[in-house]
Each structure stands twice: as C-alpha cells, then as structure tokens.
Amino acid sequence: MLKEKDAAEADTRHLVTDMLVEMLGFDKYEHLTAEFNVKGDWADYGIRLEKQIVAFVEVKRIAQELSPKHLRQVESYALREGVELAILTNGQVWQAYEVTVAQGQQSEVVLIFEVDLLNEAVKLSQKVDYMMLLSIEGFTRGLLKEYVEKRNAVSPKIVIPAILSDDVIDAIRKVIRSKTKFNVDESDVKEAVEKLLKP
C-alpha cells in the first residue's frame, strides 16, 4: 500500500519501526535509538544491545531504489562508531553489510545478504531465514555472526589458497595422470590452475 502511494521517507520510517519491533522483536525504547547522533550526522536508527550500538539502520523512501550513495552514508556511520553491521532498507528491500576497517583509513564493505520482501520469486522461508538474522533473537543467539563466518569460510581469500595448496595440486596431477597417462610437472599444474582462477 505504501509503495503504491509512493510514501514519503518519514512514512517508510514508521513502517520500518513497526517491522523492527513487531517482526524482529526489538524493544522500541531499550534497543532502538532513532535519529542517532554520529559525530554531527544523524543515522535513522542505532540498534543497541546491552548498552552497546551493534548496528545502524538507514531508511530510504519505499519506492526509492537503494544505491551505493546510500550505502556510503550508513557505512560512514558504522566506521565512525566502530560498528561492524550496516543495514540499508526502503522497507521492501533489506540489505545487510559487514563493515570493517582494512588498512589505515580504508574500509571493506561486504554484502552479507539482500532480500526483497515483495519478490514472489523468493520463497517465504528464505525471506524468514534472512530476516531472522537481523532479529533480536538472531543477534542474541549469534546467528548473524555464524552466518558471516560460514560465508567467509568459502570466500575467495580462503578458497583460492586452498585450491593452490600442495595437496590439491598433487591430487589434480594424479587425476591428470590417470586420464592422460602424462606425468605433469607440479609447477605446470599450478600455473594452469592460477590462469583458471583469474577473473
């Protein structure tokens, strides 16, 4: 209904507040701080657990497409406060990002997940699983942290060195020998694999 009438950002914020409280289980007064002051800027919401800010939520008008500019906004809040979770939403689409300081003043922002609650092609159970990660229960049970750790375990910076490890290269050589009868040199196999892994 809000999308059909192209609701303003303030109305979308009311919707997001209801979702954070009624769907995700946060207490409006204990866990949510609206218009959180971040060194002169104002984040739409800070999510607080045990008196510590654990995430920022930036809300855009429901008909507005989320953009990299919006992400930079919530990312800057997270970096200034040392918070590792940034949530960007227009009420329909929810994006969760892991924000970490890489080197010096550089930061690394990685999409944890994106879910469109009105997309009928996405199963309801999948929508529920994603939103559960952002719920009070998800935070207190460490579900989001576990999800991020599992995702990181199969990230390119873990998988590529694993593929190029001596054990894997040796296993590839054995398969090549069994298929072709050639005893290929380890360095040649490694070079061939590296070429395959290049974007």
Is residue 3 in some structural domain?
no
Nearest 5°: the CA angle 126, 92, 139 is: 55
**Which range marks the domain in which residue 45 is found?**
9-144
Is residue 67 in some structural domain?
yes
Q: Is the pTM here over 0.75, yes or no?
A: yes
- The confidence band for 76, taking pLDDT boundaries of 50, 70 and 90, is confident
Q: What mean pLDDT is predicted for residues 15-28?
A: 93
- The confidence band for 6, taking pLDDT boundaries of 50, 70 and 90, is low
| Cβ neighbours, 10 Å, residue 176 | 16
Q: How many domains does the chain have?
A: 2
DSSP assignments along 78-107, one per residue: HHHHT--EEEEE-SSEEEEEEEEE-STT-E
Q: Are residues 169 and 101 in the same domain?
A: no
